[in-house]
A = this chain, B = another copy of it.
Amino acid sequence: MDSKKIHELPGKTIERLSQYRRILYNTINQGKANVYSHELAKMMNLTSVQVRRDLMLIGYSGSQSKGYIIKDLVKLIGSIIDSDKPLNVAIVGMGNLGRAITSYFSGKRDRLSIVAAFDNDTQKTKRIIAGVPCHHIHSIAEIAPKEDIRIAILTVAPEGAHEAARLIINAGIKGILNYTSVPLTVPENIYLVEYDIITSLEKLAFMVKHEPDNH
């Protein structure tokens, strides 16, 4: 597809592309080679039109008879959302959440790999945890450039969030995925995605509370 246009993909589409791909991996494992937009839609809980529109935006065409060829589609999505060379990621805060994310990743992606973890608990540092070497947080400025770490996943306790973010930015890392409940304010040139675990639960609670019947 026209690379000039990639920048203009709607944010929501990018998010869905990532999800399409994961679902498509599953269906490949089930022995399917092709998939229709309405099948993909059902699995994603959205409409087939939306699926077709997303694929249209990335310039992928299916066939009227067989729908989409899963293998090709997965490859195309990869060419859009993956980095050319692997993008290295660090976990900052190796508690339960940090470990959960790390083990989710282990052996899953090759384009996006967790190469290091950082923590301030010396019990955890200088060891390998969940397959990833865990360093002391104060060595991040030294290790990040060496390991070419581009993204940090922030999973520390709330008290430490600001300080950890400061150290991350100071280490030259430009992307932060914030899983803590503390909202961060970062300089213009830093990419920040807030990912708050509680928000979606409260949204669900709101739905359960307010529409108990007619849903």
Interface residues of A (CB under 8 A from B): 6-7, 11, 14-15, 18-19, 22-23, 26, 42-45, 80-84, 87, 89, 95-97, 99-101, 103-104, 112, 150-151, 153, 174-177, 181-183, 185, 188-189, 191-212, 215
Contacts and interface: CB of A to CB of B under 8 A. Distances in A.
A202 B96 contact: no
A197 B15 CA distance: 11
Contacts of A96: 96-97, 99-100, 103
A38 to B, nearest CB: 13
A189 B214 CA distance: 8
B199 A19 contact: yes
Contacts of A211: 7
A95 B99 CA distance: 10
